[in-house]
Amino acid sequence: MAKDAKDVLLGEFPIDTGSAIIEADPYGGNRYILKINGVPSSHVDLDDPTYLDFEYMRWMEPIFSYGFPADEFDGRARKLRVLHLGGGGCSMARWVAASYDNARQVVVELDAKLAELVRTSFDVPRAPLVRLRVGDAGQVLPTLSDGSRDVIIRDVFAGSTTPRELTTVDYARQAQRVLDQGGVYIMNCGDTADLAGAKAEAATLLEVFEHVAMIADPPMLKGRRYGNIVFMASNEPLSLGAGFERNLRTAPLPAQLVSGSVVQKFATGATPIS
């Protein structure tokens, strides 16, 4: 049962990497915003874990719906296995837990105090459904078994950028190794209008994976503003049918899907990250 609004502690809390602030959503409901060192990190709806407020997370949702239909994972013989590199408020982990019966998830979070604050504040399901593992995402991924995950989500930021060691060719190869057949590596990439970082990430993924695609709103892809690009990479063809693209076009912030040769053109001139 979700926490009542009166039970959620609001305010600023010390964490290992600085401070965290939990604020009530100004639009009401049993919804909250988590800020890390002043930067909005997560939005959580305690009454409805399937509600995703951040646009880039809404773009991730059809990757699951079309690539990993819930009716193919019965929660007994076949459980969806998801690794989250970067925890924040565990918004996506709560969404997966609510959408897939008996899914098995591990959330890697660097900050131990933040992990505990999120666990106690946001009704994150307990292990074995969701296991919060305190550690450095750069060090944890290489320790995991081959073919042990269906989905890996990289959503790690130090300030406004992803630590470089999580963007390299070697790190992408580790993700490729840990993914099972048909698995998908999903990355949230924040970048400025020049798109230099996104182009380098695209070149890096193309160096490792056979299939790479991108999701972003058109102004972002045209280099008109700062924003997010969601990358998908897999060794198997990505499930990107008409329904997938229609879902993106009808999102509150409509997004565009780019795949195949268009991603290769996007990455032209960029050097894979080493």
Averaged over 50-67, what is the pLDDT? 94
Give the separation between CA 153 and CA 205, rounded to whole angstroms. 14
55-59, 158-162, 249-253: which has the minimum mean pLDDT?
158-162
Six-digit token string for 72: 């193919």
Of all residues in the chain, the percent with pLDDT exceeding 70 is 97
pTM of the model: 0.95
Q: How far apart are CA 143 and CA 138, in angstroms?
A: 10
Report whether pLDDT(43) > 80: yes
For the segment 199-225, what is each residue's pLDDT rounded down to a tens digit?
A: 999 999 999 999 999 999 988 888 777
Pairing of strands 104-109, 130-134: parallel
CA distance 4 to 8: 7
Residue bearing the bigger pLDDT, 31 or 247:
31
Confidence of residue 19 (pLDDT cuts 50, 70, 90): very high
Q: How far is CA 198 from CA 32, 77, 103, 253, 265, in A?
A: 30, 38, 31, 20, 13
The tokens 């009704």 sit on which residue?
123
**128 cis-preceded (ω within 30 degrees of 0):** yes
Low-confidence winner among 47-56, 86-95, 166-175, 213-222 (lowest mean pLDDT): 213-222
Q: What is the pLDDT of residue 153?
A: 98
The domain locations on the chain are 52-266
Mean pLDDT, residues 12-31 taken together: 96
What mean pLDDT is predicted for residues 190-202?
92
Q: How confident is the model at residue 157 (pLDDT cuts 50, 70, 90)?
A: confident
Q: Which residues of 98-110 are buried (b: 16+ CB within 10 A; e: fewer)?
A: ebbeebbbbbbbb
Architecture field, domain 52-266:
3-Layer(aba) Sandwich (3.40)
Is the pLDDT at 44 greater than 60? The verdict is: yes
Indicate if the pLDDT at residue 90 is higher than 80. Answer: yes
The confidence score (pLDDT) of residue 5 equals 60
* pLDDT the model gives residue 205: 98
**pLDDT at residue 175 above 70?**
yes
Is 85 a residue whose pLDDT tops 70?
Answer: yes
